[in-house]
């Protein structure tokens, strides 16, 4: 957990809803309003006392997060919404993949997006340009999204039944791995220019993944990246995760990603009844 990075020590997350609500009758009225979030973010950083208090606070934070995640899971099931947690290091291609996915799937299923970044609504604007509903959450100093943020995003987005909510987590291969959001699928994107050693260096993230996407394979001729070794290391860390190599810009592997997403939606909704 992020006991050394200062995560969460600012005033708390801010939400910007870029979605056109059904009650906005003038057609193109989009509202872009910020909400200061007043959650009690009990996020401990007590380094000075030898670490024991830090551990207790971390356990309390994660325990509370797990309770909220379980509540989110029930709420998502009641709404018949499938949530996918999309995680990667900064710049691996999450938003590029989402833009293309939303456009190519053309509303089948409908996709709404909760965008997480420390600052700006840059990614939310990119998603809005695709026509999808989107809420941006800015975490300030925070380096991950948590279950409370998903709950709040769900309220803001109010996605329709039988739709998908994709959560683009804050770019970070460390802390997002520890926070269950109540999602039905954890997708980790890594990309070729980052190097093939990322799974062994950041094993927690890759161990919790249901699907690993190796993006930017169009760059393989230009960088040193051993795809086979990377896949082997991924399999030894996490034998059950599926692995798909793709290029979000050139289009390689996208059909396999769409197949995984569609299957995950079908499996989740059939369990929910």
Positions touching ligand GTP (CB under 6 A) are 88, 90-96, 123, 171, 215-216, 218-219, 247-249
Question: Residue 247 touches which of ligand GTP, Mg ion, none (CB < 5 to 8 A by kind)?
Answer: ligand GTP
**What's the DSSP call for residue 20?**
P
Nearer to ligand GTP, 218 or 256 (CB): 218
CA angle 135/206/7 to nearest 5° reads 50
The rounded distance, in Å, linking the Cα atoms of 37 and 35 is 6
Shortest-Cβ-distance residue relative to ligand GTP = 171
Nearer to Mg ion, 45 or 94 (CB): 94
Question: Residue 51 touches which of Mg ion, ligand GTP, none (CB < 5 to 8 A by kind)?
Answer: none
Question: Residue 209 touches which of Mg ion, ligand GTP, none (CB < 5 to 8 A by kind)?
Answer: none
Question: Residue 184 touches which of Mg ion, ligand GTP, none (CB < 5 to 8 A by kind)?
Answer: none
The rounded distance, in Å, linking the Cα atoms of 135 and 32 is 9
Question: Residue 91 touches which of Mg ion, ligand GTP, none (CB < 5 to 8 A by kind)?
Answer: ligand GTP
Name the minimum Å distance from CB 21 to ligand GTP.
Answer: 25
Name the minimum Å distance from CB 49 to ligand GTP.
Answer: 34
Residues 86 and 189 sit within 8 Å (Cβ to Cβ):
yes
Nearer to Mg ion, 79 or 94 (CB): 94
Name the minimum Å distance from CB 271 to ligand GTP.
Answer: 30
The rounded distance, in Å, linking the Cα atoms of 163 and 111 is 6
The count of other CB atoms within 10 Å of the CB of residue 95 is 21
Name the minimum Å distance from CB 199 to Mg ion.
Answer: 21
The rounded distance, in Å, linking the Cα atoms of 36 and 13 is 7
Name the minimum Å distance from CB 215 to Mg ion.
Answer: 12
Nearer to Mg ion, 56 or 122 (CB): 122
Residue 31 CB-density burial (10 A; 0-12 exposed, 13-18 middle, 19+ buried): exposed
Nearer to ligand GTP, 139 or 215 (CB): 215
**Structure tokens of 121?**
């609504």
**Site residues (CB under 5 A) for Mg ion?**
94-95, 123
**Structure tokens of 92?**
């691996």
Residue spans of alpha helices (H) in 47-90: 52-79
The count of other CB atoms within 10 Å of the CB of residue 140 is 16
User: Residue 146's closest CA among 208, 234, 63?
Assistant: 63
Name the minimum Å distance from CB 232 to ligand GTP.
Answer: 22
Question: Residue 96 touches which of Mg ion, ligand GTP, none (CB < 5 to 8 A by kind)?
Answer: ligand GTP
Shortest-Cβ-distance residue relative to Mg ion = 95
Nearer to ligand GTP, 61 or 111 (CB): 111
Tell me the DSSP string of 148-170.
Answer: HHHHHHHHHH-PPTTEEEEEE--
């Amino acid at each position: 957990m992020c006991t050394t990075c200062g995560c969460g020590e600012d005033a708390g997350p801010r939400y910007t809803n870029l979605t056109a609500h059904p009650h906005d009758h003038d057609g193109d009225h989009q509202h872009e309003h910020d909400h200061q979030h007043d959650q009690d973010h009990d996020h401990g950083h007590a380094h000075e006392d030898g670490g024991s208090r830090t551990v207790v606070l971390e356990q309390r934070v994660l325990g509370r997060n797990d309770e909220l995640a379980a509540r989110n899971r029930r709420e998502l099931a009641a709404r018949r919404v499938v949530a996918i947690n999309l995680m990667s290091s900064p710049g691996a291609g999450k938003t590029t993949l989402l833009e293309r996915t939303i456009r190519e799937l053309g509303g089948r299923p409908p996709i709404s997006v909760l965008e997480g970044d420390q600052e700006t609504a840059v990614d939310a604007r990119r998603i809005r340009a695709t026509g999808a509903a989107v809420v941006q959450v800015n975490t300030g100093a925070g380096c991950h999204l948590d279950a409370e943020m998903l709950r709040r995003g769900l309220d803001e987005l109010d996605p329709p039944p039988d739709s998908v909510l994709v959560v683009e987590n804050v770019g970070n291969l460390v802390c997002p791995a520890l926070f269950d959001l109540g999602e039905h699928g954890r997708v980790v994107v890594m990309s070729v220019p980052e190097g093939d050693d990322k799974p062994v260096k950041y094993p927690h993230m890759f161990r919790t993944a249901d699907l690993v996407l190796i993006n930017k394979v169009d760059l393989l001729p230009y960088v040193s990246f051993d795809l086979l070794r990377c896949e082997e290391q991924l399999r030894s860390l996490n034998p059950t995760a599926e692995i798909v190599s793709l290029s979000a810009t050139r289009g390689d592997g996208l059909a396999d990603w769409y197949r995984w997403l569609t299957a995950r939606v079908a499996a989740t909704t059939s369990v929910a009844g």
